[in-house]
Amino acid sequence: MPEKKMPGAKKGTFRRLIKLLFADYKWQFLIVCICLIVNGVSNVMPAVLLKNITDIIETGLSLGNGAWLVVRPQVIRLVAIMGTVLLFGLTAALVKGLTMATVTQGFLDKMRNRMFDKMQDLPIKYFDANGHGDIMSHYTNDIDTLRQLISETVPQMVQSSVILLALVFVMLYYSINMMLIVFLGIILMVVITKTIGGRSARYFVKRQQSLGKLEAYVEELMNGQKVVKVFNHEEKSMEEFDVYNEKLFLDTQNAGRFGNIMGPMVMNVGNLLYVLVAITGGLMITEGLHNWSLGGLLNGTFGAVISVSVIVSFLNICKQFTGNVNNIAQQFSSVVMALAGAGRIFELMDEEPEKDDGNVTLVNAKRDENGELSECSEHTGLWAWKHPHGDGTLTYTELKGDVRLFNVDFAYEEGKPVLHDITLWAEPGQKIAFVGATGAGKTTITNLINRFYDIEDGKIRYDGININKIKKPDLRRSLGIVLQDVNLFTGTVMDNIRYGKLDATDEECIEAAKLANAHDFITRLPEGYDTMLSSNGSNLSQGQRQLISIARAAVADPPVMILDEATSSIDTRTEALVQKGMDSLMKGRTVFVIAHRLSTVRDSDAIMVLDHGRIIERGNHEDLVAQKGAYYQLYTGAFELE
Amino acid sequence: MFRMFKKLFRSVREYKKESLFAPFFMIGEVAMECLIPLFTARLINSIQTGSDMREIMHYAWILIGMALLSMTCGMLSGWFAATASAGFSKNLRHDLYDRVKDFSFANIDDFSSSSLVTRLTTDVANVQMAYMMVIRIAVRAPMMLIFSIIMAVNLGGNLAFTFVAVIPILGCGLLMIARKALPVFRAVFKKYDKLNESVEENVRGMRVVKSFVREDYEKQKFAIAAGNVRKDFTKAEKILAFNNPLMLFAIDFCMLVIPFFAARLIVSSGGSSMMIGNLSSLMTYSMQILISLMMLSMIFVMFTFSIESARRITEVIDTESTIKNPENPVTEVKDGSIDFENVDFKYSEGAQKFALSDINLHIASGQTVGIIGGTGSSKTTLIQLIPRLYDVTDGTVRVGGIDVRDYDLKTLRHEVSVVLQKNVLFSGTIKDNVRWGKEDATDEEIYEACRLAQADEYIQSFPDKYDKYIEQGGANVSGGQKQRLCIARALIAKPKILILDDSTSAVDTKTDALIRKAFAEEIPDTTKIIIAQRVASVEDADMIIVMDNGTISDTGTHEELLERSPIYREVYESQTKGGEEDA
């Protein structure tokens, strides 16, 4: 049957899927299987009924007048038996339908949660390496194809297979000679399904690709819509769009054509087969040929002349057989697409999760009379690193915010080093700035401090502790980050600020907003702090969004802050306001600043000038200006920055 | 709704022939499919009565002919239907894009660009599916139903009345299920979209999630939302799960009742009023009747789903761009002078706040004008009115002494070149990108524009020089390089008015100065408007406009403003303080 040869699908995907399904829904799975079998067998009943009733009618006809009264009890008995079997089939179908609804949606929910949970545990590298659209399509397209596979395709195929099997058995029972004729037709149908269905599936895959290309084109143009207008590029883009559109049309057309012609071909091969069976049957009767059958073996009529009732029911079986082969054939493309989708979902689920070997945790602490640190449950504003030792003892080190990098090397891709031999230190409360061109490695350093990426060589110490020993969540909780690209979440302004500290009161959030100088504009929004933000806060200006993200970091109250171009999209005048807020926020904290506007970094304790992954100059603003080196050139505008 | 379909069907255009052939051949196929059981009944009857092979072969040949005819018709119908539906969807996409490309920003903001993309792809695909159904199944099912009933009555006589009992039950049942399930499905699909939106947010904001260590919080949030979706989907599918048993019930009923009465009829009449072959074919017909009913209910469900998509598509097609070419447009811009007269502007009618109010301004042709102001002071809004990217709410904007609304849009935008703040390069070579400004520009012109924009030097440093491939969004050039390319792209059109909206923010001060110098020397007659954060970028302009909160706070030269504008002074000082000390 066609499901064995799947172009493009990875081997084992199907088995793994069924295994998962079975693991989660063992009972339901069994119930569904039983239902499918019961239902499949009951589907064959009409053919059996027809055969038997034809026999009875023939007997009745041979009895002559008043025969109906003689055969009536037999007919009633037959109909009653059949009715019971069909009732079972009906019940089985209902139970199967209801169970499948639970199983399908439950399983999809589990898969979604598995994917999402897994995704949360993946390193940032995964998100940097894979396009957002691609990741999203796992949740939309791939899950949709999976739904189709589980709720429709597989049950349909199993059901049809059960029916086919039952029909083969019935055929064997009635006539082996005739069955061989039917098989002849089936071989032809399989060949058709394979060639035509295979082509259709191939075009379906191509169609998906063309659709993706068209979508990418439209998205790019949508993003640049203003540019399109400004340059009167509308007509040109229409022409370009039409090229993609035409390709999509051709693939869709071909996929549809081959998909559409398969049905009539299979069904009419079935019709021809029907005629062939009728002719053979007719010949067998008129020529008095032997009929071999299992039924004949059982009741001793093996090799006798075939009866009309067998031929009649065989003809019906033939119809049913064709119908079910066609059912399976129609599932061909959806199986190919679903397995490809399932394969992609498994790929995501097989990604390496972010590793965390740390055992040092961050705890609230208080100091007793002797100045000794001890752990406590309430928030004290004092934090300590808790080290468990091999012998079961615990020691506490105060969290101060002392960060040191020693001879750090790093590369995103092997052989393409981004940072060379970086050594730098930030004492508690110091403000350290990074300046340098795009690609110089500024953001990379901050990526290493919070362990979005791990260093290749060298060491990083946080309050004297190797950061690899600190549990990642605790490390990150001690670092506040404000990024250049602001990401806000659907919810109110208040919700978004509270993201920094989930148990923060409204007052704390407002306080943080005031600190970031966001309070003013927030109160001027239509619904103040309760204003709903949607699609990443598109109803706010770039600067306003940045202010909210600064407030979000402020409410978290971390001892160390990383500001990656945090003020780049705020104009200098507003920046001065934000800066004031930031200054009070930065008081007593270690801060790493990345900025291309030198006014932002001028008051830093130390400025690192990065070039091609190396620190080429370091010192405070005055020192560096006096050196008249790269920083001086930057400062006077002889260098280009971004 | 009817009008909606009429509008959609306009996009069928050159695929009308295929759209008619598909149902035509479908009728042929259905006719054959319904005739075949009639002749198989005769075939069986002749076998039963022990006729000779000649008669059997007679019917066999008829049947083979019919099967071949049915196959041909079926294949042709499928073939044409594929072309018709794919063609229809192609035209729909074309028509949609044709609309969208002319949309004003007000239009695009109304729809949001991601929803426009969905309409172009998913919604069109849904309508395409529905169309294919209409020209195939929607023809097939009722035809099959009618033909089969006629044949059943013809063959079975009174027995066909069984259907009179079954069809209403089945029809009502199917309809009830569909009507119950549909609203549930519609509601859950909305929830489902929301769920996926939140996933998207998460993927985009993963750095934030991880920085705040919110992985578990997000997992919980997702599990709850996904659980809700699951519950609703399960409910909806459970309603649909009654479809199949109901169908089976109808089939089973016929399968039991018809043979029983047929047996009685045949036996008691001694085979004179009905024959076994008729019984067999009667059962085939009853199957066909019931399956047609099932198809009809399926069409009903599918159709209601795609109506939503159809509505979303017509919504776009029905939307006229809010900015249209006037009748008898002016096709020549006299000079580069600009006038704002009592201009008020808000982005949408519903907006409470005016983004610009009471703007009065005169800029002479060839002047260099700087604009300075804080975030949200509507600097960008102001200049977007000049090339008519938006229309004023009140008042008039004139270019070359003529209302911008009287110009041919192309002419106006050709003469008013804007380098946008949120600028975008497109995938393609540097030359391709610069040619956006002037389609038929020669290589010499491109080099010239890039020299003016101070881009030539770094372009020469690329191995492929002007043929360097720019990735989507200009990801592989630095911000400063990107900005200079965008300036070159605007310059090449040789506009009468050139507007730079914070377009040199990533360019170093020296290059910035060089660009301004080149402007002054090479294109002295062009009116130049420069929005900038740096005072240095505007201080030698002929006029500087200070914007504050949607109004013009002051205009004047650098010296004048330093003296009398507190805002200007504040900006100036925040940028030069310290700098001067070191200088």
* Superfamily the domain A403-635 falls into: P-loop containing nucleotide triphosphate hydrolases (3.40.50.300)
**Interface contact flag, A232 B117, Cβ < 8 Å:** no
Checking if the pLDDT of A6 tops 60, the result is no
- The owner of tokens 């405070």 is A620
Residues 233-252 of A with CB under 8 A from B: 233-234, 236-238, 241-242, 245-246, 248-250, 252
Residues 114-133 of B with CB under 8 A from A: 114, 116-117, 120-121, 125, 128, 132
Where do the structural domains in chain A lie, given as residue ranges?
9-200+259-349, 361-398, 403-635
Number of domains in chain B: 2
B525 part of a folded domain: yes
**Interface contact flag, A230 B196, Cβ < 8 Å:** no
Of B116, B196, B243, the CB nearest to A140: B196
**Interface contact flag, A132 B94, Cβ < 8 Å:** no
| CATH number for position B382 | 3.40.50.300
Of B217, B248, B264, the CB nearest to A89: B248
The CA distance from A459 to A424, in Å, is: 11
Tokens describing residue A577: 């306001």
B110 part of a folded domain: yes
In order of B507, B568, B574, the CA distances from B534 in angstroms are 11, 11, 10
Closest of B105, B93, B33, B100 to residue B66, by C-alpha: B33
DSSP assignment of A368-394 equals -TTS-EEE-SS--S-EEEEEE-TTS-E
**Interface contact flag, B422 A312, Cβ < 8 Å:** no
The CA distance from B421 to B506, in Å, is: 11
B351 part of a folded domain: yes
Phi-psi region of B46 (alpha: psi -120 to 50; beta: other; left: phi over 0): alpha
List of chain A residues whose C-beta atoms are within 8 Å of the C-beta of residue B553: none
Do B255 and B394 lie in one domain? The reply is no
Residues 33-92 of B with CB under 8 A from A: 36, 40, 43-44, 46-48, 50, 52-53, 56-57, 59-60, 63-64, 66-68, 70-71, 73-75, 77-79, 81-83, 85-87, 89-90
Alpha-carbon distance B311 to nearest alpha carbon in chain A (angstroms): 21
**Interface contact flag, B268 A68, Cβ < 8 Å:** yes
B490 part of a folded domain: no
Residue B580 is predicted with a pLDDT of: 39
Do B287 and B404 lie in one domain? The reply is no
Alpha-carbon distance A8 to nearest alpha carbon in chain B (angstroms): 24
Checking if the pLDDT of A640 tops 60, the result is no
The CA distance from B291 to B144, in Å, is: 9
List of chain A residues whose C-beta atoms are within 8 Å of the C-beta of residue B90: 245-246, 248-249, 252
Residues 155-174 of B with CB under 8 A from A: none
Closest of A46, A41, A318, A93 to residue B248, by C-alpha: A93
Are the C-beta atoms of A407 and A457 separated by less than 8 Å? yes
Contact A267/B at CB under 8 A = yes
The CA distance from A293 to A304, in Å, is: 9
Alpha-carbon distance B339 to nearest alpha carbon in chain A (angstroms): 20
In order of A589, B3, B200, the CA distances from B188 in angstroms are 48, 28, 18
| CATH number for position B9 | 1.20.1560.10
Do B222 and B342 lie in one domain? The reply is no
Contact B376/A at CB under 8 A = yes
Q: What residue type is assigned to position A270 of the chain?
A: G
**Interface contact flag, A227 B108, Cβ < 8 Å:** no
Tokens describing residue B104: 């004003």
Q: Is the dihedral of CA A121, A125, A126, A132 positive or negative?
A: positive
**Interface contact flag, B233 A105, Cβ < 8 Å:** yes
Do B304 and B354 lie in one domain? The reply is no
**Interface contact flag, A570 B263, Cβ < 8 Å:** no
Residue to substitute from A571, A592, A599, A632, interface B, most B β-carbons within 10 A = A571
Interchain CB contacts (distance < 8 Å): A and B: 457
Contact A206/B at CB under 8 A = no
Alpha-carbon distance B135 to nearest alpha carbon in chain A (angstroms): 13
Q: What is the pLDDT of residues A225-267, one digit of tens each?
A: 777 777 788 888 888 899 999 999 999 999 999 988 988 898 8
Average confidence (pLDDT) over A404-433? 85
Residue to substitute from B248, B534, B535, interface A, most A β-carbons within 10 A = B248
List of chain B residues whose C-beta atoms are within 8 Å of the C-beta of residue A237: 101
Do B232 and B359 lie in one domain? The reply is no
**A9-200+259-349 fold:** ABC transporter transmembrane region fold (1.20.1560)
Residues 424-463 of B with CB under 8 A from A: 424, 426-427, 436-437, 439
3-state helix, strand, coil in chain B (%, to 5): 65, 10, 20
Residue B83 is predicted with a pLDDT of: 94
**Interface contact flag, A220 B473, Cβ < 8 Å:** yes
Residue B473 is predicted with a pLDDT of: 65
List of chain A residues whose C-beta atoms are within 8 Å of the C-beta of residue B102: 234
B-chain residue closest to A638, CA distance:
B510
Average confidence (pLDDT) over A467-475? 89
Tokens describing residue A506: 């409204």
Of A50, A116, A285, the CB nearest to B283: A50
In order of A21, A344, A578, B70, the CA distances from A15 in angstroms are 10, 15, 57, 39
Alpha-carbon distance A371 to nearest alpha carbon in chain B (angstroms): 31
The CA distance from B211 to A562, in Å, is: 10
Do B266 and B349 lie in one domain? The reply is no
Closest of A370, A365, A395, A367 to residue A380, by C-alpha: A365
B-chain residue closest to A536, CA distance:
B201
Residue A535 is predicted with a pLDDT of: 63
Are the C-beta atoms of A260 and B82 separated by less than 8 Å? yes
For every one of its 583 residues, what pLDDT tens digit does chain B have, with 9 covering 90 and above?
A: 778 888 888 888 899 999 999 999 999 999 998 888 888 888 878 877 777 778 888 888 998 999 999 999 999 999 999 999 999 999 999 999 888 888 887 787 777 777 788 788 888 888 888 888 888 888 889 988 888 888 888 887 788 888 878 888 888 888 888 888 888 888 887 888 788 878 888 887 888 888 888 888 889 989 998 999 999 989 988 998 888 888 888 888 888 888 888 888 888 887 777 777 788 788 888 888 888 887 887 787 777 778 888 888 888 888 888 788 888 888 888 888 899 999 988 877 766 678 888 888 898 888 889 998 876 678 888 888 998 888 888 899 999 888 888 988 888 888 888 888 777 788 888 888 888 888 888 888 888 888 888 888 888 888 888 888 887 666 677 777 888 888 888 888 888 899 988 887 777 777 888 888 888 888 888 898 988 877 878 888 888 988 887 888 888 888 888 888 888 888 787 766 544 333 3
B481 part of a folded domain: no
Of B89, B209, B571, the CB nearest to A252: B89
Banded pLDDT at A364 (limits 50, 70, 90): confident
Residue B91 is predicted with a pLDDT of: 93
Contact A341/B at CB under 8 A = no
Checking if the pLDDT of A452 tops 90, the result is no
Residue B351 is predicted with a pLDDT of: 66
DSSP letter assigned to residue B407: B
Residues 66-95 of A with CB under 8 A from B: 67-68, 71-72, 75-76, 79, 82-83, 86-87, 89-91, 93-94
The CA distance from A60 to A520, in Å, is: 97
B435 part of a folded domain: no
The CA distance from A472 to B210, in Å, is: 9
List of chain B residues whose C-beta atoms are within 8 Å of the C-beta of residue A500: 212
φ and ψ at residue B422, rounded to 5 degrees = -90, 80
Instruction: Tell me, letter by letter, the H, E, C secondary structure of B413-474.
Output: HHHEEEECCCCCCCCEEHHHHHCCCCCCCCHHHHHHHHHHCCCHHHHHHCCCHHHCEECHHH
Percent over 70 (pLDDT), chain A? 92
The CA distance from A481 to A484, in Å, is: 10
Domain boundary among B285, B318, B351: B318
User: Domain containing B517: what range?
Assistant: 338-423+496-582
pTM score of the predicted model:
0.78
Tokens describing residue B441: 């520009």
Do B138 and B263 lie in one domain? The reply is yes
CA dihedral angle for residue A447, residue A450, residue A453, residue A456, rounded to 10 degrees: 100
Instruction: Quickly count: other Cβ atoms within 10 Å of residue A414's Cβ.
Output: 7
Average pLDDT, chain A: 83
B479 part of a folded domain: no
**Long-range interactions of B438-441: CB distance < 8 A, separation 24+:** B438/B492, B438/B493, B438/B494, B439/A236, B441/B492
B-chain residue closest to A207, CA distance:
B86
Domain A9-200+259-349 and domain A403-635 have a common topology: no
Contact B28/A at CB under 8 A = no
Q: What is the pLDDT of residues A257-305, one digit of tens each?
A: 998 898 889 888 888 888 888 888 878 877 777 778 877 777 777 777 7
Residues 394-453 of A with CB under 8 A from B: 437-439, 450, 452
**Interface contact flag, A238 B97, Cβ < 8 Å:** yes
**Interface contact flag, B223 A113, Cβ < 8 Å:** yes
Closest of A163, A631, A220, A198 to residue A440, by C-alpha: A631
B461 part of a folded domain: no
List of chain A residues whose C-beta atoms are within 8 Å of the C-beta of residue B501: none
